[in-house]
Structure 1
């Protein structure tokens, strides 16, 4: 069996353990064979990469394999290439497949690969399962059984084309944002790329709109400054202080490959991705006059359901993994879709997470509404019943995973909660529905963790329910 297994956000592995040259070539060969079998080798694949250790080299390893199989290959040569830029390029150039060398928000010792399909969508399980099956015989044959062409030769012969699609991607966002409103607002914004790849893109868009921009943590550091490249209240403390100390109107952060976003408001407070989804959906309906449902995953706030109901719309729930969000958006024509982890997309843009576009849209919202971000959120949420989200991540002994899975998903046993239980759902993990909220326990698809999320009207009740679930599972 091939060791490569896709999770909710592509394949991710520890560098030097499973993320190796051999495995990058193995996955590339499987995708090359699929492309050939589908008869689309002449349209081929787009490859891009972030700033992680080995990402640039791994992109060349992959390109060498595609060139060896005769698959038309384009490698994006941009100093800072966000994953959404790669997805946009797949869509814009009408390529059947794309590939990003990134481990997104994972710790620095990880790297990985995200695979995209036609239109710039995250590969669904049909594709990833097929790639896993194709890797098995290739792994048995060894590296000698994988076709390859040295990168310099591939470029010189035209088998690999090096491209720069930065301007087209930036222009596509500028065309969808009210730049005039932003210009008139005269805003000051602090950016924190978290040592990732968003600085050039965000800075270009905001400076074009005459925004005063300060940037922190933008140097190339494959260790991400010693912190997790994921925008959370803990990792954005420096940005929070900067916003307050320098009287910024907003602080914007993105994860390592810029498909997720984190926001610090004018008071220095971290706005949870749940909150961002709510205010953006409300803004698109109330101020821009859009119409349509919203899509969220099982671990994302039900306040979106309340907003949808207020405007006569519907909220759809899907499993964790943005491929499910984008798929349901395409099916229903939803206005916006997102996850509590910070990823979202809006109708009319790419069918995947884009922290760059989301940031630009939030800045537009501030300019159009004409209020600080803190007031905008308070104004919107005051119209609905209060909700508080508690989140806990637990490392566990891998040997216990089958036991926990059996308890929750086979035996359907749950704790005796202090909250009245009204039902359960097993769409993804084990979700318990309460009279005034819900709680879910599920295994992460990108890290060896069990995650528990709970939403209730106040902090104490949500944290108590999380503790009851943790104790029940013996974590």
Structure 2
């Protein structure tokens, strides 16, 4: 593939997605259940798509959410469901749709305080922390995210009680049942209005930031990191990690400079990837050109994609650029 003329350059306005139109499409457009491209299709533990292509619309989220309720019942999963979302434009509408279904089905749901953003690893941490002391009534989780997919995408991942990505048996159950529900016009979906769902006795705000931040000391020697006096640069890349870096810096006494505090669902702060598209690909030196451009300001820098299940760490900027270019060249040969 030839390198696009905009690769590594700031995204022009002509590439930015129309967010009002995207969200309108989420609610107004209906999938054609006879078209395989518009059905529920689980990849890495979740369904992803775009409301412009009728592959991620409200009907999909309602059907998947009801299928998750039925899966939990079949496996006798009765503990709380830890729920988070990233900063993609479709994530908040999808969270609202899913919560309407979960509340109507009487599920206990834990959401971030103030409808804040929650990275995927934080949901996994909450599940594992809760289940550590449980022999029954285990918790599971849902993350509303299409991961590093482009800004017009939405997604919904299911994490079972072990905290990690769902296995194929689980995803096949949810995918098949969701498509059956879609095919029947979502008549089996139980749903309550969002205002009732968010204020329901089964919906609870939860502090995801504090417990996760404190627990970092159990896997990393934060005292040594603090004593090293490193000047650390962080670009959350508009993602769900934004609210975590300041508490981490305060709690452990780290010199962290968050260089980009923008939450922009158009990804307008990104540089363009090699094919001329905007995406959050931490393996691409073109998408990460902004982070690589910080080479003279910090001892080490981090960039996180939207739901934090990928990151790029930069220490020697010349070496990391060469490594990423070599990685891209190797992929082109496969």
Tell me how far apart the structure 2 counterparts of residues 268 and 201 of structure 1 sit (CA, whole Å).
28
Does the Cα contact within 8 Å between 1:35 and 1:44 map onto a contact in 2?
Answer: no
1:198-234 C-alpha deviation (Å, 9 max, x unpaired) = 2332343244333322222321100112532222321
1:125-176 C-alpha deviation (Å, 9 max, x unpaired) = 0100111221233123213331112222234330222222210111111232
Once the two structures are TM-superposed, the CA of residue 20 in structure 1 deviates from its matched residue by: 0.8
- Paired residue secondary structure (1:234): coil
* Distance change >3 Å, CA 204–CA 44, structure 1 → 2: closer
1:111 to 151, 154, 157: 154
Tell me how far apart the structure 1 counterparts of residues 328 and 294 of structure 2 sit (CA, whole Å).
26
Does the Cα contact within 8 Å between 1:74 and 1:162 map onto a contact in 2?
Answer: yes
1:164 to 204, 207, 211: 207
* Distance change >3 Å, CA 389–CA 243, structure 1 → 2: closer
Aligned to 1:30: 67
Aligned to 1:89: 126
Structure (1/2) with the larger strand percentage = 1
Runs of 4+ in 1 over 6 A off after TM superposition: none
- Paired residue secondary structure (2:123): helix
Does the Cα contact within 8 Å between 1:194 and 1:254 map onto a contact in 2?
Answer: yes
State the Cα RMSD in Å.
2.4
Aligned to 1:63: 99
Once the two structures are TM-superposed, the CA of residue 183 in structure 1 deviates from its matched residue by: 1.8
Aligned to 1:45: 81
Does the Cα contact within 8 Å between 1:240 and 1:264 map onto a contact in 2?
Answer: yes
5 Å-filtered alignment, 1:130-149, equals 130-149=173-192
Does the Cα contact within 8 Å between 1:59 and 1:101 map onto a contact in 2?
Answer: yes
The gaps in structure 1 that reach 5 residues or longer are 276-339, 341-387, 393-451, 454-462, 470-475
Comparing 263-272 and 5-14, the one that deviates more: 263-272
Aligned to 2:311: 261
The gaps in structure 2 that reach 5 residues or longer are 1-32, 132-137, 271-277
Larger Rg: 1
Normalised TM-score (structure 1): 0.55
Once the two structures are TM-superposed, the CA of residue 101 in structure 1 deviates from its matched residue by: 0.5
1:324-350 C-alpha deviation (Å, 9 max, x unpaired) = xxxxxxxxxxxxxxxx9xxxxxxxxxx
- Is 1:228 paired with 2:265? no
1:196 to 213, 231, 239: 239
Normalised TM-score (structure 2): 0.77
Ranked by relative contact order (alpha carbons within 8 Å, sequence separation 6 or more), the top structure is 2
